[in-house]
Chain A
């Protein structure tokens, strides 16, 4: 199985701050990587797919990058509504696997 190692587990950021979340795959996943935001009690919302493609309707302050085994999600200018949990998902090979999540809070 492909292991997705996500870091950090938690993050506290000030309004307007730029933050990054990382996911490292245990093998090459060929950019088959998506990022999700999940708010408390809600279902996940797709932010980024194919490593760097912004989902329709997602603010442009969200961006994704990476290739091979290393991927990152960047939020350029933290906003109050960005608080929540963030997960990565590899779609390269079954079983599909998620990162363990990052809890993002406002400082």
Chain B
């Protein structure tokens, strides 16, 4: 059974950093593209970043480019999202997804002073 479990969310002040993790199990992690999608409270879904199966290529939405870094450790079957210079508009539940077919339960990031 495919399982994706996010962690690392929490309350953080504007301008600070946070690193999210997504532990994957139930499939061969190194075979799949992965991505992060976020959802602000009571809002719609927003793609954040994607990474190829090898980690050799990454893609970001413009509003996070230069501030967020997606990465993966295939030996640990774990996906990461390093979030720097956080802004209030980054407040959202962050979902890890395998190819947009399987999704984790999400982790809430709140950026507030």
A: residues with CB less than 8 A from B are 34, 36, 38, 42-46, 49, 55, 87, 89, 91, 94-101
A90 to B95 Cα, complex, angstroms: 17
Binding site for A on B (CB under 8 A): 35, 44-47, 50, 59, 61-62, 95, 100-106
Q: Which residues in A have their C-beta under 8 angstroms from that of B50?
A: 94, 96
A100 proximity list for chain B (CB < 8 A)? 44
Q: Is the CB of A87 within 8 A of B45?
A: yes
Given A43-B95, A43-B105, verify A98-B45 contact (CB < 8 Å): yes
User: Which residue on chain B has the smallest CB distance to residue A85?
Assistant: B44
Give the residues in chain B near A36, CB-CB below 8 Å: 45
Residue of B62, B100, B105 with highest tally of chain A CB at under 10 A:
B100
In the complex, the chain B residue whose C-beta lies closest to that of A36 is B45
In the complex, what residues of A have CB within 8 A of residue B95's CB?
A: 43-44
A-B contact pairs, 6 of them (CB 8 A): A43-B105, A94-B50, A95-B62, A96-B50, A98-B45, A100-B44
A94 CB contact (under 8 Å) in B45, B59, B101: B59
Query: What residues of B have a CB within 8 angstroms of the CB of A49 in the complex?
Result: 101
Contact, CB under 8 Å: A98 / B104: no
Which partner residue on chain B sits nearest A1 by CB separation? B62
Known contacts A43-B95, A43-B106; is-contact A98 B46 (Cβ 8 Å): yes
Contact for A43 among B59, B61, B62, B104, CB less than 8 A: B104
Select from chain A the residue with minimum beta-carbon distance to B104. A43
> Could you tell me if A96 and B47 are in contact, using CB atoms closer than 8 angstroms?
yes
Is the beta-carbon distance between A46 and B101 smaller than 8 angstroms?
Answer: yes
| Contacts A44-B45, A87-B45, A100-B44 given; does A95 touch B61 at CB 8 Å | yes
